[in-house]
Amino acid sequence: APGSEVAIIVGCGHAAGELATRLREQGWAGRVIMIGEEPHLPYQRPPLSKGFLEGKTGLSDLFLKPQATYDLAQIEVILNTRVEAIDRTNRTVTLSDGSSLQYTKLAIATGGRQRPLPGADTARAEACDNFHYLRTLDDALKIRELLKAGKRMVVVGGGYVGLEVAATAIKHGLQVTVVEAGPRLLGRVTSPAMSAFFEQVHCQAGVDIRTGTLVEGLEFDGLRVVAVRSHAGERIPADVVVVGVGLLPNTGLAEAAGLAVDNGILVDAFCVTSDPDILALGDCCNHPNPVVGRNIRLESVPNAVEQARSAASTMCGQGEPYRMVPWFWSDQYDLKLKSVGLCEGHERIVMRGTMEGRAFSLFYLKGKRILAIDTINRPQDFVMGKRLVGERIEVDDDALIDESTPLNKFFTASL
Ligand code: FAD
């Protein structure tokens, strides 16, 4: 009977939390058990490098839902506990407290962990209290303690998380240096034009940006990192070091259970892995994206939420496929970046608005179609842009550039 079925969710992050409540909304009658190794209920990570780090967002605002919501929905939450192994033959999972649980359907939402800073000094640095990665609430609490005016912070990695930390730290009066190995900031996620814009903004704010600079080693004084050394022999003194050099998907559990893994746990359009009773969702999974036309692994909240919707529907026997235009946001200073689509493979870029006015959109085009849009402080362009990219609507460059032509003109033209 459906009431005796057991849904087990591995992980207690954004995707897991969404899935648990949606299972109830979609009519899952049996037990729902969510198991996470962190000591917290599911919370939002984006504020950890923005409002929460700055002290504007309170702790209670981070949580997706209060405990009472899970209680009311009869969702059993087990915290401080790792799922150590999956036995697919007997349909059980083994937990770090030695117990095991039987599942009817299993959903893996294990997210990812920070890529360690490469190099021989990393293990020693990780034992220092002024060297941190930023993935968890506990990481953010530790970094927040170190945001003291006048201190020198070195941020290793010029991706979104690193730049958001830099923006927050400089606002707090720290001296901030960003060290990026690649030739430009945000090299993996946006175009050279947008990278140059962000570099200029950070420089104007007083951040010392060093691109093309590989960290070769660290200097210590007892249990403190005191400097970062570059491959070119530069020595950058540091009171605090924050490292954001990418994410490694947590796929070990799935791999050990013999599930197909390739840069993430492989799933189909319904979030189902190579085992029909096991699903995967969020940062840990690699999925076919119908808009982009190939498999991708996304690290974003909108993706986690959309996959939770699809996974809940699959587990409840309805099977709503995942269909999302990839999108993402980042807040730095007064800038609200919202990106939609993936810009790789674009032939040209057209701009609407101006960089000087700090309100513009870059449209990445191939033929007559928009592959992606980066919008800065232009929420309307983002709303329209999601449809233009998702519905693969044909556009013309002149109308995109001309601000007197509303973007919804293209929808009517395509009818
Ligand atoms: P997670 O939220 O990482 O949750 C996975 C959970 O599973 C973790 O709690 C982990 O401890 C647990 N777990 C792993 N293995 C096991 C196991 N074996 N047993 C039990 N538990 C396990 N996205 C945006 O869209 N916009 C942003 O502006 C943005 N900013 C970000 C800023 C920061 C600082 C960070 C860290 C991330 C940001 N992201 C942002 C990304 C976003 O937070 C992630 O995409 C999202 O959290 C993914 O959710 P998830 O559930 O897949 O993974």
Q: 3-class SS at 321?
A: coil
Tell me, what's the pLDDT at 87? 98
ipTM metric: 0.99
Among 217, 245, 273, identify where a domain stops.
245
In this structure, the answer to whether residues 145 and 257 fall within a common structural domain is no
Q: Is residue 327 part of a domain?
A: no
In this structure, the answer to whether residues 194 and 294 fall within a common structural domain is no
Ligand 1 centroid, distance to 14 Cα (angstroms): 6
* 11 touches ligand 1 (CB under 6 Å): yes
Q: Give the CATH number for residue 283.
A: 3.50.50.60
Q: Is residue 408 part of a domain?
A: yes
* 133 touches ligand 1 (CB under 6 Å): no
In this structure, the answer to whether residues 202 and 264 fall within a common structural domain is no
In this structure, the answer to whether residues 304 and 238 fall within a common structural domain is no
In this structure, the answer to whether residues 151 and 196 fall within a common structural domain is yes
Q: Is residue 276 part of a domain?
A: yes
pLDDT tens sequence for the chain (415 residues): 578 999 999 999 999 999 999 999 999 999 999 999 999 999 999 999 999 999 999 999 999 999 999 999 999 999 999 999 999 999 999 999 999 999 999 999 999 999 999 998 999 999 999 999 999 999 999 999 999 999 999 999 999 999 999 999 999 999 999 999 999 999 989 999 999 999 999 999 999 999 999 999 999 999 999 999 999 999 999 999 999 999 999 999 999 999 999 999 999 999 999 999 999 999 999 999 988 889 999 999 999 999 999 999 999 999 889 989 999 999 999 999 999 999 999 999 999 999 999 999 999 999 999 999 999 999 999 999 999 999 999 999 999 999 999 998 888 765 5
Q: Give the CATH number for residue 367.
A: 3.30.390.30
Split into its structural domains, the chain has a count of 3
Among 283, 315, 347, identify where a domain stops.
315
Give per-residue burial for 114-151: e unless 16+ CB within 10 Å, then b: beebeeebeeebeebebbbbbbbbebbebbeebbeeeb
Q: Is residue 59 part of a domain?
A: yes
> What burial class does residue 188 get, using C-beta atoms within 10 Å of its C-beta: 0-12 exposed, 13-18 middle, 19+ buried?
exposed
User: Which structure tokens are listed for 137?
Assistant: 């609430």
In this structure, the answer to whether residues 155 and 71 fall within a common structural domain is no
Q: Is residue 328 part of a domain?
A: no
Among 185, 214, 245, identify where a domain stops.
245
In this structure, the answer to whether residues 363 and 398 fall within a common structural domain is yes
User: Best of 41, 248, 278, 301 to mutate for ligand 1, by most ligand atoms within 8 A of CB?
Assistant: 301
Sign of CA dihedral 251, 252, 256, 261: positive
Please report the beta strands in 136-246, taking only residues with DSSP state E, as ranges in sequence order.
Answer: 152-156, 175-179, 208-210, 215-221, 224-230, 235-237, 240-243
Ligand 1 centroid, distance to 13 Cα (angstroms): 6
Residue among 389, 358, 12 at smallest CA distance from 194? 358
Q: Is residue 320 part of a domain?
A: no
Ligand 1 nearest-atom number relative to CA 49: 34
* 283 touches ligand 1 (CB under 6 Å): yes
In this structure, the answer to whether residues 227 and 135 fall within a common structural domain is yes
In this structure, the answer to whether residues 360 and 211 fall within a common structural domain is no
Q: Is residue 326 part of a domain?
A: no
In this structure, the answer to whether residues 92 and 148 fall within a common structural domain is no
Which residue has its alpha carbon closest to ligand 1 atom 14? 110
Residue 32's domain spans which residues?
2-113+248-315
Which residue has its alpha carbon closest to ligand 1 atom 23? 300
In this structure, the answer to whether residues 29 and 78 fall within a common structural domain is yes
CA dist list (Å): 208 to 23, 131, 169, 199: 47, 19, 12, 10
d(CA 220, CA 361): 44
* 82 touches ligand 1 (CB under 6 Å): yes
Ligand 1 centroid, distance to 45 Cα (angstroms): 6
Tokens 């959109």 sit on residue? 361
121 Cβ partners below 8 Å, 6+ apart?
217, 218, 220
In this structure, the answer to whether residues 148 and 239 fall within a common structural domain is yes
Q: Is residue 189 part of a domain?
A: yes
Which residue has its alpha carbon closest to ligand 1 atom 29? 46
Tell me, what's the pLDDT at 412? 75
